[in-house]
């Protein structure tokens, strides 16, 4: 999935894991003011769960609403003709890309 417009990364204190994205087509004066605004109240950003003291982990944890006693059912693989299968594989490769996420802060 591509962004609608080009974006610019703003790193806080030179730390690439503490960064936000802003539009690159912003007015230079507005971009300067926005960057200053985002960097002033730096202590209000929470970059990891341990930064949010006083908030119950139950609020931050996501769980699927699935009955624990029901077993999973694997969807059957659909068979396509070879020409169509090649097109599907080509589109799938263009849609999916390998992204490595740093999970040390999670």
What is the tens place of the pLDDT at every residue in 87-105?
A: 888 888 777 666 666 666 5
- For residue 12, give its domain range: 1-48
pLDDT in tens, 44-61: 667 677 777 777 777 767
**pLDDT on residue 29:** 92
Q: Decide if 37 contacts 44 (C-beta within 8 A).
A: no
Question: What per-residue confidence (pLDDT) applies to 50?
Answer: 74
How many domains is the chain partitioned into structurally? 1
Q: To the nearest whole number, what is the mean pLDDT of the chain?
A: 77
Whether 74 maps to a domain, the answer reads: no
């Amino acid at each position: 999935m591509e962004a609608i417009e080009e974006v610019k990364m703003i790193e806080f204190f030179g730390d690439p894991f503490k960064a936000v994205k802003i539009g690159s087509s912003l007015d230079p004066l507005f971009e300067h003011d926005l960057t200053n605004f985002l960097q002033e109240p730096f202590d209000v950003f929470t970059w990891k769960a341990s930064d949010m003291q006083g908030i119950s982990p139950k609020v931050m944890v996501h769980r699927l609403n699935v009955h624990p006693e029901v077993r999973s059912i694997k969807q059957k693989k659909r068979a396509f003709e070879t020409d169509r299968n090649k097109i599907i594989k080509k589109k799938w490769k263009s849609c999916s890309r390998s992204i490595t996420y740093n999970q040390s802060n999670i």
